[in-house]
Amino acid sequence: MLILKQPTMAYATQIEQYRQEFIANNDSIDGSSFLEQMPSIEQWLKLLALFRSEETVPADYAPAETWLVIRQEDDCLVGMSNLRFELNNAYLQQFGGHIGYSVRPSERKKGYGKMILHQTLQQAKLQEITKVLVTCNDNNIGSAKIIEENQGILEKKVVDTSDQLVVRRYWITL
């Protein structure tokens, strides 16, 4: 069973290992709220605290919550998830969406992505978000299947102007 937990220093070693696994895999850590760019886990945790409130979120960003996805039986960090409470800028409205998530490369193809998105959608429901935009790169077939398995309806494909990649836009009604 997977559970969502707020990141804390108690998981600092696992968070750093998670980050290093993505770096070694030359992969982006979606749903991690800039983990790959932060100089330390402690600074990342401080950044996450700022994102939790409309009053403290950095300018041009949306209030959001980020969770560690922990496999309960062995307390292992297998994924991360991020829920933006609103889409308050053009980039999020077009390409970013409400939810980002990732599964640790060594834990992929075990069904965790589907569970992570499902649990994050439940959190969106608690925030009274009734229509959720979830996006993925067009070539990320695994993520597209996960979104579709969570009742995502493909609206259209668009070209992300920041990197010229084709993005699939899915809507999930809660």
> Contact, 156 vs 143, CB < 8 A?
no
- Give the per-residue pLDDT at 74: 98
- Give the per-residue pLDDT at 107: 97
Q: What is the dihedral of CA 95, 174, 139, 160, to 10 degrees?
A: -10
- Give the per-residue pLDDT at 130: 97
pLDDT single digits (tens) 69-122: 999 999 999 999 999 999 999 999 999 999 999 999 999 999 999 999 999 999
- The C-alpha angle with vertex 28 and arms to 91 and 15, in degrees rounded to 5, equals 115
Nearest to 167 by CA among 146, 138, 143: 138
Full-model pTM: 0.95
Token pair for 146? 């996960």
The DSSP element (H or E) to which 102 belongs, if any, is: strand 99-103
- Give the per-residue pLDDT at 40: 97
Considering the domain 2-173 in this protein, what is its CATH number? 3.40.630.30
Mean pLDDT of all residues in 169-173: 98
Please state whether 128 falls in left (phi above 0), alpha (psi between -120 and 50) or beta. Answer: left
81-91 as b/e, with b when 16 or more CB fall inside 10 Å?
bbbbbebeeee
> Contact, 86 vs 136, CB < 8 A?
no
- Give the per-residue pLDDT at 166: 98
pLDDT single digits (tens) 6-65: 999 999 999 999 999 999 999 999 999 999 999 999 999 999 999 999 999 999 899 999
Instruction: Say if residue 5 is exposed, middle or buried (CB neighbours under 10 Å; 0-12, 13-18, 19+).
Output: middle
Mean pLDDT of all residues in 139-158: 97
